Structure 1
Amino acid sequence: MTTRPSELGLLPLPSPGVGGPLSPQTPSTPGTPGFRSLNPLSSKVTAVLSTSFADTDFRDALQLLDERGVVNNPETRRRLRLDLQKELIDSNGDIISQFGKVAEQLRRIGTTIGKLNASFAEMKTEIAAANSATGDVLKEASSLVTQRRQVETKQRLLKSVNDHFLLSEDEVALLTLSSEPVDEAFFDVLSKAKKISQDCELLLGFENQTLGLEIMEQTTKYINLAFQKLYRWIQREFKTLNLENPQMGTSIRHALRVLAERPSLFQSCLDYFAEAREHILSDAFHTALTGESPSGKPDPSVKPIELAAHDLLRYVGDMLAWMHSAAVGEREALEVFFVSDGGEIAAGLQAGRENEVWRLADDEDSAQTQEFDAVAALNELVDRDMSGAVRVLRQRVEQVVQTNEETILAYKLANLLNFYRETFNRLLGPKAVLAEALGNLESEAMRQFRSLMRDHIAALQGDFQHTPADLGLPDFLRDALDQLAAIMKTYDTSLSSSLDREADFQPILTEALDPFLSGCENIGKSVPNPDDFIFLINCYEAARDSLSRYEFAQNKTANLQTKIDEEARKLVESQYTFFRTESGLDGLMESLLPLTDSPADIAKVKTLEAAKPSALTKASQMLDDFLPSALMDAMENLNKLLDARLARNLTEEAAERFCTDFEHVEEMLILADEVAEEEADEDAVDDIVRLRALFPRTSGEIRVLLS
């Protein structure tokens, strides 16, 4: 509820001295004096009316009046100011009363604070006296506490140093005493000792190096004793090591990897192992050869290789097969030591070489500083293991090669040795003792082959002087080709290291074929034509047919074909000469063939002796007698040529050449008759002697009869 200001009596009333209150009976006008006396009221009203209800103080005053429940009546309006002033005075009195109580409390607090200050001063005095009395004791106690902490720290440090840089008595015993086993505990302690030695380098970095030097010296001594113990243990293990057991323990492999850090001891172990394995394999090879152990005790489980000694090729093959089987087994067994752990062994050897400083200054040992090759080391060790058996093998094979007297067997032995040499080259490398030994044996077998071949040729020198009656292959050539066929078949199935197998086989042909062909050529020199041509073609074709089945003899086959073609040309020439001679046309062809169809040459025809009527008549008669059996007679000349097809082709080629020449003769005779008719008078044409009348045969007839 909003109360208007006029209802609260806030408007001032006019004083009585001014004329009394306004009434409706006393209106005022602007011109009257009363109008002027109302101006202040009007101003008040105007001011009140102009007051904004948005004013905060005004709204608070109205709200306060509402809360007090003031009744709007004249009495209330007259006492409102007085009531308000009274309430204000009462409130101020209450405040003064409350402040009096506060002051009383503050006086009490001040008294209490004074007492506290006095107590504090008294306590401060007592504490100062106590501090003065106990100061030395506290300082000594603090010093003792500090010392205790330092001692505890040193104890922990000492314990850490002892645990890290010192080996216990049990650990030292495990490293140095041979009665203690070499197991994982041993390798763990050895690793700890090596780490202590490495960490001692940190101690050497301090000013006081005594501790680091003493620990390093002691630890190094223990490490050296441990490696000596490991070295002796590996040697004992090698004595009883069974390489045929695929489940070999990992302890010896681990031991070898660790021992690699001492290259000298590692190499010594390998030498010891190689020597032991060499004796074992030598004894095993002896047992395989004889069926008895080196002590003479028979071994019923072994079938002696010497039982096949009568068959030299099988005997050598069985020995080489045993060597190959032993080398492969040895290599597979040793792969677990080198190939699978090759990286760790290489790292160990490298570390060991770096520690052995004196090796770096030794030029003779510079090769040992090279990087470790696990495969090469494996091959070298296997080769050394096999060296004892290789010596026995070389003696046996040399004996076989030197006592053999068969040419083919000598070559087969050489080829067999070549096969195994290539096999061992791939298995162990070309520098292996086994591969080199087989290479020397192969060379020895080839020398024996050449020697036997030359002895065989020398024994056949008498046969090189006799020509077969049928102009066929001589026995020595037939035997040589059979022998060569066996050699080529053996070589074809062999493993040749040469990329050019043909060049590799050429020396064999030089020894096994060329001398026999040379013997045939020497025989042919004593035989009249055309038998010498036929004989050589028969020999060359037989050799060519034997070689043509193999790719590695293609060059030699081509050379033989060239010789056959050369001798065939000679036979064609011989057949052609036969046609000219037996037909009676040799003189006529010899006279007419050089002439051409020029007028000068045509004019010479009738002047030639061979073109005289009597000569032409005789030649024509001989030709008629020759033609019916000419081809058969010509073929009869080549009936000893083994290749009937070649004989027919050569005869046809010679006949074709004869027919071609006959066409020229016929043409020259026709041209000569035509020129004679042109030059003769009309009355004498009938009296001309026509050459074609005396020599009527045509080239077409000749071709038909000789086809």
Structure 2
Amino acid sequence: MSEKNMNSALVRRVNKLLESRVEHDKDTLEALKELSTFFTENTLNSRRNLRSKIERRSLAINEEFLASFREVKASLDDVYQNVLAMNTSVQSMTNRLQVTKAQTSQLIEQTSKLQSESQILTMQQEVANAFIRNFQLTPSELTVLHGSARESPITEEFFSVVSKVQDIHGKCRVLMQSGYQTLALDIMQRMTLLQESALERLYRWTQTQCKNIENERLAPLLIKAMSKLQDRPVLFKYILDEYCTARRTALVGSFIDALTLGESFGTPNPIEMHANDPKRYVGDMLAWLHQVIPVEKENILILVKGCDKTDVSDQVKQALSNITEGLCHPLKSRIEHVISTEAPATVLYSITTLIRFYRAITEQVIPESVLDQTLLDLLALSEKSFLSRLQRETRIALGERAEPPGSDLVPAPSVSRLLSLLNEILSVASIAEDREKDMLQIVSCIIDPLLQEVNETASRLPTVDMAVYLLNCMHQIQSTLALYEYMDQRLERLQAQSDAQIDTLTSEQASSLVAHLNLGSIYTILQGRDQGPLSSIPGMDALSVKEFTNKLEAFLVMPDVLLLPQISLLQSNNHRIITQKRSFEVIGAIYRQLFDACHDPKNLYQNPSSLFSRTPEDLLQTLISQ
């Protein structure tokens, strides 16, 4: 190779080395890193021996690898020998197992059969135990059901056992449907006997303990007992009857104690201490009933709390009626005695309202009971006695003969007495139950004979005195009745009678005014027809007309002079005003007729305006304003 070519090749290598990027060559960097571990001195001798060092190092590494591999091979050989030994052992064991399996196959078959039979027997035992648990009672449960003694107390556990007996009896129906009729019937018969025995024991215990319903400890047990006995209607009824008998006796005793001793021996005082006050006496007795009846009802409801309400509702009402029946005789005898005494009508009516009020409450709690009927009878008796007494007091107040009025024509004292009695009774009736019927009946009982007496008295008086007296009486009656409701029709009738008397009094007053003003002849002439000009008729000439208007003016100055003296005796200012107004309207009407006739040209009055100082409108306005 020429020198030029060698130089060129060397140049290319140098350029290649110069162009290479050693820092990016991973292999080169790893090689340099490994080289730095044994190339520690950068001398000329070290660089010359570098190749040999590298080769020796490579040889050492290969020798180390070979030594390590020999150890691995030795280990693998040992494993191989062990596997061969294990294989030989397994094969030997397999052979022995095959021999043993062949020898024990019959034993295994027998063992499997015995295991199956054991499982069946275990299952049958579990079924038998479950059957016993569900269809039989344990000895302890039988002891609880029958009791260690004949009158041993009933506990919560007893009701659990009774419920279990009833449950077993019900499950027997399912057992019969499953094909075990004979077994089911035997169990049902056994459970029926146990149930009857348990209910008989429960009945005796409940019959003894139901009298202590107030005992909070026994109440839950009694509630459960009555719930169980509800399935035996006869026993259930016997228990309620026994309870009612005991409570009736206790209630009557409490009532007698309240009457004679007072509650808690004198606190409060005995009811009969107030026997001289009929209203309070009757009210206290009825109030005592009002307090105890709800308590008795609550006790019965507690006793049957666990029962079916729809089945025992009628029995509860009947039981409460039986309990309260014992109170009827002592209550009725005392109230009848009070009613039969000569008590005032106001007191009898107060007693009537009390009986009516408490009877309405009793009817809601125990309807159609003996006590309710007793109160109804007492109410009818009290109403009858009240009306009889009221009629008697009315006759006494009116007296045997009608009292003549005095000269002042005010209502007789009997009128005031009766209206005072009426006001006193109506003041009580206005707040009572069913007051409309009572108030109308009371008013009729007093007002009808009163009006008859007033009319009889007035009939013996002169016309004007009669009208004034009747108006005064009507006014006093209306003033009393107007204070109360439901009196509209009665007030309308009284107003119609008052209007008739006002008309009579107006007529008398107008006639008196016509007579004093000499209007009689003028009015008669004005009513005539076809008499020719009025100015030519005697009494209707201009001088007579002027004389009349002068008298009328004098009357307007002092109108009271010509009024009837009885008018001032009217107690009602409204009656006086109406009477005067209507009578003045009569005078005004005649005056208008005369005024129009004088201003009529056909009557030939000269200067008729000079005859009259007022127009009819002015006159009427002046009269009304008096």
Q: Give the TM-score of the pair, scaled to structure 2.
A: 0.74
Match of 1:318?
Answer: 281
Residue 65 of structure 1: CA displacement? 5.0
Is the deviation greater in 268-277 or in 93-102?
93-102
Q: How many correspondences in the alignment?
A: 609
Distance 1:196 1:324 in 2: 52
Say whether 1:657 aligns with 2:585: yes
Distance 2:85 2:420 in 1: 146
Residues 464 and 522 in structure 1, CA contact (< 8 A), matched pair in contact too: no
Residues 673 and 690 in structure 1, CA contact (< 8 A), matched pair in contact too: no
- The equivalent position to 1:440 in structure 2, one of 374, 377, 383, is 377
Residue 108 of structure 1: CA displacement? 6.4
Say whether 1:510 aligns with 2:444: yes
Residue 506 of structure 1: CA displacement? 1.0
Shift of the 479–379 alpha-carbon distance from structure 1 to 2, 3 Å rule, reads: farther
Match of 1:35?
Answer: 4
Match of 1:569?
Answer: 503
Distance 2:43 2:556 in 1: 186
Shift of the 153–65 alpha-carbon distance from structure 1 to 2, 3 Å rule, reads: same
- The equivalent position to 2:519 in structure 1, one of 585, 588, 592, is 585
Say whether 1:328 aligns with 2:291: yes
Distance 2:48 2:393 in 1: 175
Residues 517 and 551 in structure 2, CA contact (< 8 A), matched pair in contact too: yes
**What secondary structure, in the 3-state scheme, does the structure 1 residue paired with 2:206 have?**
helix
Match of 1:26?
Answer: none
Shift of the 217–37 alpha-carbon distance from structure 1 to 2, 3 Å rule, reads: same
- C-alpha deviations, 1:643-677, integer Å up to 9, x for none? 27567546643663366357547746864799857
Is the deviation greater in 555-564 or in 64-73?
64-73
Instruction: Give the aligned residue type for 2:217.
Output: T
Say whether 1:491 aligns with 2:429: yes
Residues 394 and 446 in structure 2, CA contact (< 8 A), matched pair in contact too: no
Residue 539 of structure 1: CA displacement? 2.5
Matches within 5 A, 1:191-270: 191-194=163-166, 215=187, 218-239=190-211, 241=212, 248-263=215-230, 264=233, 265-270=235-240
Matches within 5 A, 1:237-636: 237-239=209-211, 241=212, 248-263=215-230, 264=233, 265-282=235-252, 314=278, 318=281, 321-336=284-299, 338=301, 344-345=305-306, 348-349=307-308, 368=310, 381-391=319-329, 393-394=331-332, 397=335, 411-425=349-363, 428=365, 431-450=368-387, 468=405, 470=407, 473=411, 477=415, 480-492=418-430, 495-496=432-433, 498=434, 501-522=435-456, 524-525=458-459, 527-551=461-485, 553=487, 555-557=489-491, 559-592=493-526, 604-612=533-541, 631-632=560-561, 634-636=563-565
Distance 1:650 1:613 in 2: 34
Residue 249 of structure 1: CA displacement? 2.7
Matches within 5 A, 1:171-182: 171-177=141-147, 178-182=150-154
Structure 2 spans left out of the alignment, 5+ residues:
613-617
**What secondary structure, in the 3-state scheme, does the structure 2 residue paired with 1:167 have?**
coil
The structure number with the bigger radius of gyration is 1
Shift of the 238–302 alpha-carbon distance from structure 1 to 2, 3 Å rule, reads: farther
Residue 210 of structure 1: CA displacement? 6.4
Shift of the 522–430 alpha-carbon distance from structure 1 to 2, 3 Å rule, reads: farther
**What secondary structure, in the 3-state scheme, does the structure 2 residue paired with 1:516 have?**
helix
**What secondary structure, in the 3-state scheme, does the structure 1 residue paired with 2:563 have?**
helix
Distance 2:82 2:274 in 1: 133
Distance 1:655 1:97 in 2: 165
Shift of the 559–503 alpha-carbon distance from structure 1 to 2, 3 Å rule, reads: farther
Shift of the 467–96 alpha-carbon distance from structure 1 to 2, 3 Å rule, reads: closer
Distance 1:225 1:35 in 2: 140
Residue 560 of structure 1: CA displacement? 2.6
Match of 1:169?
Answer: 139
Instruction: Give the aligned residue type for 1:485.
Output: N
Shift of the 594–92 alpha-carbon distance from structure 1 to 2, 3 Å rule, reads: farther
Distance 1:443 1:429 in 2: 19
Residue 325 of structure 1: CA displacement? 0.8
Shift of the 630–590 alpha-carbon distance from structure 1 to 2, 3 Å rule, reads: farther
Instruction: Give the aligned residue type for 1:190.
Output: V
- C-alpha deviations, 1:87-142, integer Å up to 9, x for none? 77787778778777776776666556555544444444444444444554455556
Distance 2:139 2:63 in 1: 100
**What secondary structure, in the 3-state scheme, does the structure 1 residue paired with 2:308 have?**
helix
Residues 418 and 442 in structure 1, CA contact (< 8 A), matched pair in contact too: yes
Instruction: Give the aligned residue type for 2:194.
Output: Y
RMSD over aligned CA atoms reads 5.3
Instruction: Give the aligned residue type for 1:273.
Output: Y
Shift of the 103–633 alpha-carbon distance from structure 1 to 2, 3 Å rule, reads: closer
Distance 1:69 1:459 in 2: 160
Q: Give the TM-score of the pair, scaled to structure 1.
A: 0.67
Is the deviation greater in 326-335 or in 299-308?
299-308
- The equivalent position to 1:190 in structure 2, one of 149, 152, 162, is 162
